[in-house]
Amino acid sequence: MKEARLHPAAEKEAAKAARWYEKQQAGLGREFRLELEAALHRLRSRPSRGANYKNTAYRFYKMERFPIILYYLDLPDCLWIAAAAHASRRPDYWRRRQP
């Protein structure tokens, strides 16, 4: 199983989302983190699970419970997560990020 490496900005996005969900309801931030870990595990075990993103090498995977999309590259040595983006905000803002 490949290692998942998050771009530093993707880590910040995930942390920000967890804090926001925790403010909405106690314990929801923790549930978000658990769902994120489950999504990463699913992708690590089968990187082709995500759909192709437009005409790029990127793939995307929508988390099951939360409106967050993981954009990633399946590299030879790891699964590189470019963004943990909200599903309905600022499309493609993350495209300049590099592994």
* Angle formed at CA 32 by CA 10 and CA 24, multiple of 5 degrees: 105
pLDDT at 54 over 90: yes
> What is the pTM (predicted TM-score) of this model?
0.94
pLDDT at 91: 86
Which domains does the chain show, CATH number per domain?
Answer: 3-85 (3.30.2310.20)
Digit-coded pLDDT (tens) for 73-99: 999 999 999 999 999 888 899 999 999
Q: What is the mean pLDDT of residues 7-24?
A: 98
Position 40 scores a pLDDT of: 97
pLDDT of residue 90: 86
